[in-house]
Chains A and B, each alone.
Chain A
Amino acid sequence: MNGWTLAATVGLAGGLGTALWGVATGPLRRRVVAQNLATALACPAMLLLAQGYGRPAYVDLGLVLALLGPVGTLVFARLLADELAEDPPRAWVATWAVAALGAVTVIALCVATGPSRAMAKLLVIGALLIGGNVIASRALAGGFRRVGRG
């Protein structure tokens, strides 16, 4: 077990454990935010695991998760729009904290990889992760409601 796998273990236990608590209890607005953050926390853990196992092919899992996680959240934002409109979720602190965690992870992995095609792929995954996370949070908070109705 090396430092990368240890970091992934701590991230999984702390991050996904908290997200599970959030998705299991509380009002609907807290649950959708926790679902969004669960995907955004699992993606850096996947990247750390790929580095820890020394298998660059595992990075594809992080790429697919960074693409599909926000899509899943957008599904909930669209189909729960009526219920969320009464009580919109506001979780910008948590969103940006998780985005910063993802950015720190991607930068650390880039430093470990060195300049190459793998580093470009990691940067693309990081951009997708943070961009998708912020867009999904904005959709949950009702930022695109006029677009959806118009």
Chain B
Amino acid sequence: MADAVIVVALLLVAATATVAVATRDPARQALVLSVLGVVLAVLFTVFQAPDVGLSQLAVGSALTPLLLMLTVRKVRRRGRDEEHER
């Protein structure tokens, strides 16, 4: 019974990671990845590793989505500029 929270956290991580892989559009994938960061932090907390959870939260919930979204924007803008030059 005490392991119920561990099972729930593991199932959530497995489901979120599967959804992240199955999503095709990069912008929507960044949204799922942000949720995955939070769920992973919960998993680390449940495993009594709050220090790892803290760094996972800092990187996963804000930094990874920011980098991904900036990259998507730059790639789209570059594609639009090249179409204009033709």
Interfacial residues, chain A to chain B (CB-CB below 8 A): 1, 5-6, 8-9, 12-13, 16-17, 19-20, 23-24, 28, 31-32, 34-35, 38-39, 42, 45-46, 49, 53, 55, 57-58, 60-61, 64-65, 68-69, 71-72, 75-76, 79-80, 83
Contact = CB atoms under 8 A, between A and B. Distances in A.
A127 B16 CA distance: 29
B31 A23 contact: yes
Give chain B's interface secondary structure class: helix
Given A35-B34, A64-B54, A69-B61, 19 more contacts: A1-B1, A1-B2, A8-B5, A12-B12, A16-B38, A23-B19, A24-B32, A31-B28, A34-B35, A39-B34, A42-B38, A42-B39, A53-B48, A61-B45, A68-B62, A76-B30, A76-B65, A79-B72, A79-B73
Chain B contact-residue range equals 35 or more
17 contacts: A5-B2, A9-B5, A12-B8, A16-B42, A19-B35, A46-B42, A49-B45, A61-B54, A64-B54, A65-B61, A68-B61, A69-B61, A71-B61, A72-B34, A76-B31, A76-B34, A79-B73
B58 A68 contact: yes
B61 A9 contact: no
Contacts of A34: 31, 35
